[in-house]
Amino acid sequence: MTSFFVDAETGGLALPLPRAAVVPVQAWERGEDGKNRPSGRQAQDASGVPLWSLPALVYANRYGRAEPETVELLLASVTRPDEADFFPGGDA
């Protein structure tokens, strides 16, 4: 997955997709065979706060023009974030 900085002041606004759901991010572990597999736990950030994912739309500048791209916003929160908080007027 591509990671990049989103800055609303410079036009890099991320728009949550309509009807998108906030879901827990799956933690992964390396098995004895060297392959990654789901651990059954929720991933956490460096300070131990659970991570949540929300699909969003950004417009990336590609070849001199803005093109839409779907990304996942990673949210660190002790409790599950409410999708309505990301839409003006709660229009999720």
pLDDT tens for the chain, residues 1 to 92? 455 555 444 445 677 777 788 999 999 999 899 999 999 999 999 999 999 998 888 887 778 888 888 888 888 999 998 887 776 655 55
> What pLDDT is recorded for position 8?
46
Element counts in the chain: helices (H) and strands (E): 0, 6
The residues with which 36 forms a beta bridge, in sequence order, are 30
> What pLDDT is recorded for position 80?
93
For 1, half-sphere exposure in the C-beta direction (CA atoms, 13 angstrom radius) is 9
